[in-house]
Chains A and B, each alone.
Chain A
């Protein structure tokens, strides 16, 4: 590549991390930060042990438990589920044996790996970041190249601090204009997935750009990048800017003083050059976005909350018709039914998509002075112990508890059916998480993905509502 050719943000981070370019185009790509948790790492450590290999750079990895832990006080005793206990104990034994930094459950910095990375300043602009978890794309909000890997690749990173990778293609999704009141980053990303589909980004790294993305705070950018994987993309990213630099400043693992200035000077060179070529471009007008909710069992099956359940009979394509029929049946829906007529049983505010302080504030703003409907179980699960502490300092826990929400300990919780927080068969949820797959939140559970404000409003009303009709109560 000539030095003068305009490059994208992705190209620049990629180029800065190529250790060696192999003749067939594969790169030995250096990985700056590796995050790991209890679920996708045990077999990787076992592989190292069997091959007699050690961890090349223990200081470049950090471990935390998040997926299968309970989010109530019971977790501080003995973990009840024997398999979960084994996984947590295995991680603890592995980090000890291999000398890897570890944040234990009892540490207030513990939390969902994709929340604590940015929060602690472990995830920085310009970095390559990986984790055995598809939602690693979240860290792309920092202006980093961050992507999920499988367990074999976890082992590869532990052993070599690199990955063998072919460069992804460049895609830009531009969201122009201003986001209307009542809409959030979650609505932006759901609208994007609705437009391009769950394979729309396959083989690509998406750079999110445009006025509406620039206007988002870091938490909002993380929400958008988090769900890049639901658009099929390898990673999502947002070019670092003053919002990013201000966010990073002073975080525990971020560079300080003169090092910070040097870092910022480099980070400022990262945004895509004028004239850089994208293999694929999509644009969206933010002003047209309406609060979104998924109705089916794939994140692309999303509609404005003002919409109605699709009727399979109206669909010409046979395969799609069968698919829609299957989703309507699984989700227990009636074709033509208004989405706002759907009753909810469970509301979940949390997950690596929406469990940051900004998300908790959005839920609390709706909850303030109101009550959760009597038939609804509503959980608010902060993404980390530090988020929990910050929310409590603002009194958000009291607002939520008074309204009838449960206020839980940090973890992945009801996002993925791996810990005690699960839907029961047939239960319908309004969830701020990222996947509405069949059985994702528990066998037979029915998931509708929404923003934190939409979820909180559904908890109060007992059914889905258009949050624009449900604004915070003043002066209560």
Chain B
């Protein structure tokens, strides 16, 4: 996973609540067996007409938002399914940070695993950032994960909170499977005890 330290970029405004994972990446695009290549299908139903041409009103079809690296949205972003294709599609498009008042749990989790940073900020602040984002190319937003601040185009710094463990993994681009494998002896011990107490949980055969 690519480390996330600081990011300064164009932010796309998406003033919608409940942006669900079917909006982010519709089910018909989940047939891939790869993590990459989904960027062209990001927000497909909102972004393209039935004939595949772009809908000019959709934010990511407009300049400078085709280069957006940040997305600003409203409540309950990423609700719906567990599809990790949602952060994969965002990342493949080039979006590495989503700012919203809150996120659905599984999407929130999945984002961290892929180096996409979800930043939770109160609705009023998201509204201000939405206005900043609407100003386009000359209004870049910075996310500084090291210092845990979002820097508005006017220089104002807005602190945000984040789970320290996840921050550590992101800053260093660490894979958490490797971390967990360090606990292998404890896992062995747990299994030995559980196997003795509940043997039916082991050796299922279809």
Contacts and interface: CB of A to CB of B under 8 A. Distances in A.
Interface string A144-155: 000011111101
B181 A87 contact: no
Interface stretch (B3-11, B150-158, B172-180): B172-180
A439 B22 contact: yes
Interface in B65-94: 74-76, 79-84, 87
Contacts of B22: 435, 437-440
A159 interface: yes
B84 A19 contact: no
A164 B165 CA distance: 10
A103 B206 contact: yes
Given A86-B33, A101-B205, A263 B198 contact: yes
A439 B186 contact: no
B18 interface: yes
Contacts of A440: 22, 27
B30 interface: yes
B132 interface: no
Contact of B45 (A30, A90, A323, A438): A438
A87 B33 contact: yes
A355 interface: no
Interface in A16-39: 19-20, 22, 24, 26, 28, 30, 32-33, 39
B147 interface: no
Interface in B139-198: 163-165, 175-177, 179-181, 183-184, 186-187, 189-191, 194, 198
Given A43-B33, A53-B177, A199-B76, A30 B190 contact: yes
A435 B31 contact: no
Contact of B79 (A30, A132, A199): A199
Interface in B104-140: 104-106, 109-110, 113-114
A417 B187 contact: no
Nearest to A20: B186
B31 A46 contact: no
Contacts of A161: 187, 191
Interface string B25-53: 01110111111000000000100001000
A425 interface: yes
Contact of A90 (B33, B110, B203): B33
Contacts of A86: 31, 33
A28 B187 contact: yes
Given A232-B76, A440-B22, A122 B105 contact: no
B26 A83 contact: no
Nearest to A439: B45
A199 B75 contact: yes
Contacts of A83: 31-32
B54 interface: no
A134 interface: yes
B202 A416 contact: no
A304 to B, nearest CB: 22
A476 interface: no
A40 B80 CA distance: 15
A148 B106 contact: yes
Contacts of A156: 176-177, 180
Interface string A189-211: 00000000011001100000000
B23 interface: yes
Contact of A416 (B20, B23, B27, B176): B27
B177 A155 contact: yes
Contact of A202 (B80, B87, B105, B114): B105
B117 to A, nearest CB: 15
A202 B105 CA distance: 6
Contacts of A53: 177
A59 B201 CA distance: 9
Given A32-B201, A51-B177, A151-B84, A24 B165 contact: yes
Contact of B76 (A62, A90, A149, A202): A202
A148 B82 contact: yes
A150 B91 CA distance: 15
A22 B102 CA distance: 26
Contacts of A24: 163-165
Given A28-B187, A155-B177, A298-B18, A59 B202 contact: yes
A418 B104 contact: no
B181 A202 contact: no
Contacts of B34: 42-43, 46
A68 B29 CA distance: 11
Contacts of A308: none
Nearest to A437: B22
Nearest to A254: B200
Contacts of A268: none
A315 B16 CA distance: 17
B70 to A, nearest CB: 21
Contact of A417 (B28, B75, B180): B28
B83 A40 contact: yes
Given A101-B206, A160-B181, A164-B180, A153 B109 contact: yes
Given A30-B187, A133-B81, A149-B82, A443 B50 contact: yes
B113 A152 contact: yes
Nearest to A22: B165
Interface of B: 15-18, 20, 22-23, 26-28, 30-35, 45, 50, 74-76, 79-84, 87, 102, 104-106, 109-110, 113-114, 163-165, 175-177, 179-181, 183-184, 186-187, 189-191, 194, 198-206
Given A26-B165, A42-B33, A156-B180, 12 more contacts: A28-B187, A60-B201, A132-B82, A152-B110, A153-B109, A159-B181, A160-B180, A162-B187, A203-B105, A255-B200, A323-B17, A439-B22
26 contacts: A19-B183, A19-B186, A40-B82, A43-B84, A46-B34, A60-B204, A83-B32, A132-B84, A148-B81, A150-B113, A153-B109, A155-B177, A160-B180, A160-B181, A164-B179, A199-B102, A202-B76, A253-B204, A259-B200, A418-B31, A435-B20, A435-B22, A437-B80, A439-B26, A439-B45, A443-B26
